[in-house]
Amino acid sequence: MNHNRPGAGPLTVTVLVFPGVRLLDVTGPIEVFTSANDLGGRYRVRIASEDGAAVITSAGTRISADVRVDDVREPYDVLVVPGGPEWETLLKDDALLEAVRRLHGLARCTASVCTGAFLLAGAGLLRGRRAVTHWRQSRQLAVRFPSVRVEPDAVFVRDGPMMTSAGVSAGIDLSLALVEEHWGARVARAVAKDMVVFMQRPGGQSQFSVRSQVPHSRQETLRRVLDAVAENPGAPHTLATMSRHAGLSVRHMSRLFDEEVGTTPARYVEQVRLEAAQVLLETGDDPLPVVARRTGFGSAESLRRAFVRHLGVTPGAFRSSFRTTGAGRATANSGEREEETEQDGQA
């Protein structure tokens, strides 16, 4: 769908709203499309609600609607389905799901933001398709809708005419991708610069997830092993060492991890070490080699490879992105940023 041609008319974007919708899920995409109008794109954005009335968002803010769902009768370009924190309740709203189906039937492209993916899935629109939602709800989406191929680390996913995006601000990433598709990279880049956001953010949403807790296990022996790894990730937790401490054979230990944790011992240990390193990078000033030794990676190079493999960013970039917003650091800490960059390069 390439509309980047002379004389092309404005593209119509319909944003569905409903009581309890998340505010930024709505305003983020709208801001992208309306900003594009000043920078080389042409969009007509309208807000639709079931009855055409205003709705109260989850933030308590009132949003007015431009049109009733039933009054949308002509084909148009993009449908945006936002989410809301009470997505489980929304899935029981048959009228809302029917509104999603009706608007989708007239749209050339249907896109969801955050938990809006549940509404698309509940409406039967994601069967057999790849999709993403907020990292907190990825597992629920996969369990409730097993025909949906959930990609938990993606920021946004396109599968045919369907697009889904991850948590909240990822709706901006998705909308920028649509602007690029419609009007070209130059316009999308201008919008991203105007909004002071990444045109394509580094890494996936794994880097935003909370620290994983020690998995629950029915096996007391395995629980003790999992606890020991979590409490001291820097210790030498090889399969042989863990098996010996538990009084189990290597084969038995591997089978327990597969059955109870759903991964291998080596992968579990690496994940715990990765999360421990994230905490140190966010909260401390230790150089990367020290962080690597304290968390069991041994060297800054091993730490760097693990970060790039799992999170899509280097340790130095992670520290710069997540320790602070940067307010008040402009000149005083420029040397610190240079040091982190140099360390990362050496890693």
Tens-place pLDDT, residues 214-261: 565 667 788 888 888 888 889 999 999 999 988 999 999 999 888 888
Active site residues: 114
Give residue 153's pLDDT: 74
Give residue 195's pLDDT: 87
Buried b (16+ CB within 10 A) or exposed e, 172-189: bbbbbbbbbbbbbeebbe
Q: Which fold has domain 11-205?
A: Rossmann fold (3.40.50)
- The alpha-helical segments, DSSP class H, found in the chain are 23-36, 87-90, 94-106, 116-122, 138-144, 170-183, 185-195, 220-231, 239-246, 250-256, 265-283, 288-294, 300-311, 315-322, 334-346
Give residue 52's pLDDT: 97
Paired strand residues for 11: 43
Give residue 335's pLDDT: 37
Rounded Cα distance between 95 and 108, Å, is 22
Q: Does domain 220-346 have CATH number 1.10.10.60?
A: yes
Give residue 216's pLDDT: 58
DSSP, collapsed to helix, strand or coil, labels residue 162 as strand
Give residue 281's pLDDT: 86
Give residue 210's pLDDT: 45
Rounded Cα distance between 79 and 75, Å, is 11
Rg (the chain; Cα; Å): 23
Domain range summary for the chain, segments of one domain joined by +: 11-205, 220-346
Whole-model pTM above 0.75? Answer: no
Give residue 200's pLDDT: 62
Give residue 270's pLDDT: 92
Give residue 248's pLDDT: 92
- Ranges under pLDDT 70 in the chain: 1-8, 198-218, 321-347
Contact 26, 82 (CB under 8 A): yes
